[in-house]
Structure 1
Amino acid sequence: MEKIIHRADSRSFSNHEWLQSYHTFSFAGYYNPERIHFGALRVLNDDHVKGGMGFGMHPHDNMEIVSIPLSGALEHKDNTGRHEIIRSNEVQIMSAGSGIAHSEFNASKTEPVSFLQIWVFPKLRNITPRYQQKTFEPSERKNKLQVVVSPEGDSDALLINQDAWFSLGRFDEGQTVEITPGMPQHGSYLFVLEGEVEVAGETLQRRDAIGLSNYDSATVKVLKAAEFLLIDVPMS
């Protein structure tokens, strides 16, 4: 087993007053040659945006972009004419493909919004841009993992243009769950949203993360009631 640990306080922090953003991997003005990506996982930003503020229209191409609101609501617009609101317990995926422009704003003029924005390198390049979002019942991740993104894109998960899986879990203290790679040559990246867990001999707290590769299985022990995101991606 190989593992990397990314502690919450080791992330880059950008404070733009209207935006507070924590970058796990190199992004924008933050560059760390040891933090470029974890396999196909390229970006994991933990963003907090003030009411009425946001990111103006900007382009993307050939990237799978997943947005997960943690509190508040996020307003999405793009150059295809799509206009959506994404709320807590919803997940959005945008396959930028051959090229798309979009904006993301706090849907409230007064209340802040907190969300994760995650980029994954695509499996196929220059596909037709695609957008999808879905509500996921929190009861379905109580003491178990709830798959929210998958390459199959079945009725229970959003479709991603990559052999990758995203799962959310909310566990009571004392619970355990086994994690395994989705496919050979895959790695697992576990990001703790709240609480405290133990994985591969490492204790992880709020916003800590661990990346596992070259492993068959690992046990997540919940030391304090916890919620976490598990991302399974190809390592090459």
Structure 2
Amino acid sequence: MLKKIDKTAFMGHGPIQTLYPGYTISGSDSGIGSIGRIDHAYVRGKQHIAMHPHVNDEILSYFRAGKVEHIDSEGYKDTITSTRLMLMKAGKLFYHEELIDGQSEPFEGLQIFIRPGAKNLKPEVTFQNLGQRDSENTWRLLASPTSQTTLRFSSQSWLYDNNVSAGTITELPEMPDNDLTALLYIYQGSVQVNGHIDLEKNEALIVVKEVISIKTGTGAEMVLFYTAEHGSIFKDGMFSGNKASFKD
């Protein structure tokens, strides 16, 4: 199965646009497996997001421009940038605030809400320094449920990125498990899949049991998710949980 999610699926009219990827394929779940929600933010200048709670959410901050100062109820204080990622595992209850600095350059990035593998896990914050901002023409594994990565999800979830050059043809990386669903998200640029599915910025493709070929004429920054849809997942997190009843 191949199912395109176009940019009209995003909700919100301010600097943060929200995608519930399950709405395009399900009337009963706003997410796809462990992928609960994706926020794509674009902020000019400075913005303060006041201290607020999370319950049973795992939030990966994938920021590509600008920087954010993170402060939380567990005593962590650090800065997230395009080469320093953060995974915040909220568990039972967790508070944090963010100071967004998009003054020297506009801030842009994703906050990715992953559903945990179980309810009320211990809160934890992990940072990961990247050797460089971009993974050029190679799928880079950023987070997983295994010891392969510093950033570790509690559910069966994998996250990759790839900055592909103009004129490049690529495929998805090998799945860690054969029974996974893929979600390919276009962060910047545009691609064509299998010669007939056009995707541009803020669009995505759900891939189930298909081999795909990805071609770009202009270059593209892509983010890829693998999720075990029927794995052990807690679907009632504050932000990552099922919001199907609130679609309208």
Q: What TM-score do the two structures reach when normalised by structure 2?
A: 0.82
Give the length in aligned residue pairs: 224
2:109, 2:220 → 1: CA distance?
Answer: 18
1:208 to 195, 203, 209: 203
- Contact residue 169 and residue 213 of structure 2 kept, 8 A: yes
- Say if 1:153 and 1:125 are closer, same or farther in 2 by CA, change over 3 A: farther
- Say if 1:130 and 1:47 are closer, same or farther in 2 by CA, change over 3 A: same
- 2:60 aligned with 1:61, yes or no? no
- Say if 1:141 and 1:80 are closer, same or farther in 2 by CA, change over 3 A: same
Q: Could you say which residue in structure 2 is the equivalent of 1:177? A: 170
Name structure 1 gaps, 5 residues minimum: 27-31
Identity of aligned residues (%): 21
Q: Could you say which residue in structure 2 is the equivalent of 1:4? A: 3
SS in 1 for 2:45: coil
- Contact residue 188 and residue 221 of structure 2 kept, 8 A: yes
2:106, 2:51 → 1: CA distance?
Answer: 20
- Say if 1:99 and 1:184 are closer, same or farther in 2 by CA, change over 3 A: farther
2:72 to 78, 91, 105: 78
1:222, 1:125 → 2: CA distance?
Answer: 41
- Say if 1:162 and 1:76 are closer, same or farther in 2 by CA, change over 3 A: same
- 2:45 aligned with 1:51, yes or no? yes
SS in 2 for 1:141: coil
AA of the residue aligned to 2:207 = L
Moved more, 60-69 or 176-185: 176-185
Structure that is richer in strand per residue: 1
- Contact residue 106 and residue 112 of structure 1 kept, 8 A: no
Q: What TM-score do the two structures reach when normalised by structure 1?
A: 0.85
Point out 4+ residue stretches in structure 1 off by more than 6 angstroms: none
2:127 to 115, 128, 133: 133
SS in 2 for 1:13: coil
1:53-202, aligned counterparts within 5 Å? 53-107=47-101, 111-138=105-132, 141-154=135-148, 156-179=149-172, 180-200=174-194, 201-202=196-197
Task: Note the aligned Cα RMSD (angstroms).
Answer: 2.3
SS in 1 for 2:118: coil
Deviation string 1:32-61 (CA, Å, 9 cap, x unpaired) is 958711221111010123433131111112
- Contact residue 2 and residue 210 of structure 2 kept, 8 A: no
Deviation string 1:76-98 (CA, Å, 9 cap, x unpaired) is 11011111100113221011112
Moved more, 53-62 or 216-225: 216-225
- Contact residue 20 and residue 36 of structure 2 kept, 8 A: yes
Q: Quote the offset at 1:140 in angstroms.
A: 6.5
Name structure 2 gaps, 5 residues minimum: 231-248
